[in-house]
Amino acid sequence: MSAHLSWMIIKNHNSYLVKKRNIKKHFSSEPNNLLNLASFRYNGLVHKKSVGIVPAENAGFKVTWKRAKAAHKPASSNVSRVMKAGPRVALFRLRRLLRCNKYRRDLTKAALRRASAILGSQKRSLRVKKSRPKKSD
């Protein structure tokens, strides 16, 4: 089935759709959706090639992508890799992975932004505020 036909079927009714009353934009909580927007471009379910980035357990981020050749085998179509190196090396490897495997060029910038945001949040959470010892009178 084509991606456009699949999108027309699921765009208004799926379990990942998040609709708010006062907000005109609709959001999505599906896997492999980089911006969490409910749109055809960022949808991770309908495209043969899609990329998802989530935080890893200890440090770094986990990249999950669909293999186009195994689109008819859902169990083996997803491949994932954890990137734990320093931020500069991890982002370079992510860019190289997306470019060399000819994944969607329109998602490269969004993937790098999401990975960078994850690494930044992990860096902020690891900072420990130094507390001064109380002065005794």
pLDDT at 129 over 60: no
pLDDT, position 53: 94
127 falls in which pLDDT band (50, 70, 90)? low
pLDDT at 102 over 70: yes
pLDDT at 117 over 90: yes
Residues 31 and 56 in one domain: no
Whether the model clears a pTM of 0.85, i.e. scores above it, the answer is: no
For 11-56, the DSSP string reads SSS-TTEE--SS-SS-EE--TT-SS-B-STTT-SSS-SS-EEEEE-
Residues 54 and 97 in one domain: yes
Count of the separate structural domains present in the chain: 2
Rounded-to-integer distance, Cα 1 and Cα 60, Å: 35
Residues 80 and 34 in one domain: no
Residues 20 and 39 in one domain: yes
Q: What digits encode the pLDDT tens for the residues 29-84? A: 998 999 999 999 999 888 888 899 999 988 889 999 888 888 788 888 888 999 98
| Beta bridge partner(s), residue 133 | none
Residues 59 and 119 in one domain: yes
Query: Please, are residues 68 and 102 in contact by the beta-carbon 8 Å criterion?
Result: no
Per-residue DSSP letter, 34: S
Mean of the pLDDT values across residues 13-40? 88
Residues 70 and 83 in one domain: yes
pLDDT, position 132: 60
Report the Cα 32 to chain-centroid distance in Å: 5
131 falls in which pLDDT band (50, 70, 90)? low
Give me the helix-helix angle, 87-100 and 108-126, nearest 10°.
160
* Structural domain of 114: 48-126
Q: Which residues of 78-111 are buried (b: 16+ CB within 10 A; e: fewer)?
A: beeeebeeebeebbeebeebbeeeebbeebbebb
Residue 30's SS3 state is: coil
Residue 134: inside a domain:
no
